Amino acid sequence: MPRRTHRCGELRESHVGSNVVLNGWVDVCRDQGRGLVFVDVRDREGLTQAVFEASAESSDVVALARSLKREDVVAVSGTVRLRTAGPNPRLATGAVEIAATGLEILNRAEHPPILPDDAEAAKMDEEVRLRHRHLDLRRPRMQAILGLRSKVTRIAREYFHDRGFLEVETPLLIRSTPEGARDFVVPSRLHAGEFYALPQSPQLFKQILMVAGCDRYLQICRCLRDEDPRADRQAEFSQIDLEMSFTDRDEVIETMGGFAQQLWKETLGVEIPEIPRMSWADAMNRFGIDRPDLRFGLELVDVSDLVAESPFAVFTDALAATHLGRAGCVKAIRVPGGATTVTRKSIDALTEFVKRFGLGGLPTVKVTEQGFETGIAKFLDGCAATLRERLGAVAGDLIVFGPGRWETVCKALGELRLRLGRELGLIDETRWEFLWVVDFPMFEFDEDGNRWVALHHPFTAPLPGQEPLLESDPGGCLSAGYDLVCNGSEIAGGSIRIHRQDVQKKVFELIGLGPEEAEAKFGFLLRALRHGAPPHGGIAFGLDRVVMHLAGTDNIRDVIAFPKTQSGADLLCEAPSEIDAAQLDELRLAVKPPPKP
């Protein structure tokens, strides 16, 4: 095989006159007749056109070129010249072509079931592409994403290496610990009846590395959680995982914010200004979600005090009720009149939408020059002026109200805000809006309201000075956690960790984990904390989500080389699959046959 001298996307006018060898796949072969054949040769860098012209010396080569089919693997040799038909502006190599003098077919390809073509892929069923992922990955778009992902990991390693982080691997076969999602488990052949778990994250090990004196840790790691996939989540995913000793929240945020800024600058050429902070309570009250999208308005406004005297029973009932110690509320969103004409039919659709999130209905009014009309206008006569002033409403606007429990109102109106933003075209897709969300509650009640659960995880420390609230007011205790949000998506999350034994013990007590159970589940971490744990904290960036943003896609499967489907199946290697009886016997596992229908 002739050794290649250049990649297919590298050739430019400066290479004219050079003798070159290209290796790659046949993208297109065009037989023009009269002894003239054009072949586009493709590799991950792009395309170059090779021209085979018949002559007494080259007749065999031209005949061989005529036999080429799509996706054959070839080596083409020849001389670079200016393109005879004039430049092709659609190609990076469009100013030049190769006057081919040699051709070697390295491998013949069968007729491919799919073509590695971006335009064709857009019309194709995703499962077909995933089944033939070896061909799908040849597409220019997919090759560009793989290159982008590689660049992101390189930037991460360089950035954190320059700041004293050590790259350390943590184990994949570990003890099962309760971390929020289901574990994937692996049976042990040598220890019959016992199981390893695959790590949901390296959380416990990176804390132990801080106790071990590592000081600063980095790992680009795989995490596995047995949970239902969705557009931005896979059961198997990657993190840029970090931890720092002798640090505080401000230093972590400064270091990690700088990484995000450098990443966007080096990959997209986008300058991200200093990233602002917003409290969790502010985010929930204004946007109904703890990862707000700041690229558009439609903020939630609390109008509970203004409608408290309204004769509308839906409002008064909501305000009179309490849930988990928190009073009900009424929030409102002003929908600009210039954005769209909201019809009765569309309001009915929005009402059905918010019911999915527990809201009983969606009262509305239309703003006029004189006040309000339609909907519940008759119930708002006493507060129409103050409502308009607080919401900044003008004639033509629509006001939608959400009455109910605070948690339900925030969730429903937060989702409604996002839907309206998309449907009304209010989201500026060219903007990048970053935000640190801080001051999360340490705890929340479980769904039944019976016990506390950790909002992040049980190793998150309270804010400095708030430790006494663990005894007196757990619900009012704020954590030293922080999330980095980009355009409404959480791309990183972390916290300062608990390094004191007494605080860790109290947190375990609050979430109902007694000493014996805590020792059984987390004994190896607790033992480490007893032997001189430094103050430490860290964060994990969702590598797949970061690349999704940079690549401009909303499907996580686009940025993973070999992803699973929505049902968790790997169509390329046909996993999961049954294993034979001998393997089961060796692992001392018995699988019951499925019940007969």
Q: 19-33 and 277-279 as β-strands: parallel, antiparallel, unpaired?
A: unpaired
Q: Which residue has the higher pLDDT, 247 or 525?
A: 247
Q: Where are the domains of the chain?
A: 13-107, 143-278+435-559, 296-427
Give the residue with greater pLDDT, 112 vs 179: 112
Alpha-carbon span 566 to 131, nearest angstrom: 14
User: What does CATH list as the number for 13-107?
Assistant: 2.40.50.140
How far apart CA 426 and CA 170 sit, in angstroms, is 44
CATH code assigned to 143-278+435-559: 3.30.930.10
* Per-residue model confidence (pLDDT) at position 590: 76
Please state, in angstroms and rounded to a whole number, the distance separating the CA atoms of residues 129 and 115: 9
Q: Give the CATH H-level superfamily of domain 296-427.
A: GAD-like domain (3.30.1360.30)
d(CA 398, CA 392): 11
Q: What are phi and psi of 21, to 5 degrees?
A: -130, 125
pLDDT score at 338:
58
pLDDT tens, 498-546? 999 899 999 998 888 888 888 888 888 888 889 999 999 999 999 999 9
pLDDT at position 323 is 80
pLDDT, the chain, mean: 92
Please determine whether the domains at 13-107 and 143-278+435-559 fall in the same fold group of CATH.
no
Q: What is the 3-state secondary structure (H, E, C) of 63-117?
A: HHHHCCCCCCEEEEEEEEEECCCCCCCCCCCCCEEEEEEEEEEEECCCCCCCCCC
pLDDT, tens digit, 9 for 90 and up, residues 384-436: 999 999 999 999 999 999 999 999 999 999 999 999 999 999 999 999 999 99
pLDDT, greater one: 276 or 582:
276
Contact 550, 156 (CB under 8 A): no
Q: What's the CA gap between 118 and 47, in Å, rounded?
A: 14
State the pLDDT at residue 231. Answer: 64
> Would you place residue 340 in the very low, low, confident or very high pLDDT band (cuts 50, 70, 90)?
low
Say yes or no to pLDDT of 41 above 80: yes
Residue 508: what residue type? F
Q: What are phi and psi of 347, to 5 degrees?
A: -65, -40
CB crowding 536-558: b at 16 or more within 10 Å, else e:
bbbbbbbbbbbbbbbbeeeebbb
What is the rounded CA–CA span in Å between residue 225 and residue 390? 45
The reported pLDDT for the residue numbered 525 is 86
**Mean pLDDT score, 568-580:** 91
* Length of the chain, in residues: 597
> In terms of DSSP bridges, do strands 96-107 and 536-542 run parallel, antiparallel, or are they unpaired?
unpaired
Q: For 255-283, write each residue's pLDDT tens digit.
A: 999 999 999 999 999 999 999 999 999 99
Q: Bridge partners of 195?
A: 187
419: CB partners within 8 A, 6+ apart: 350, 353
Q: What is the pTM of this model?
A: 0.91
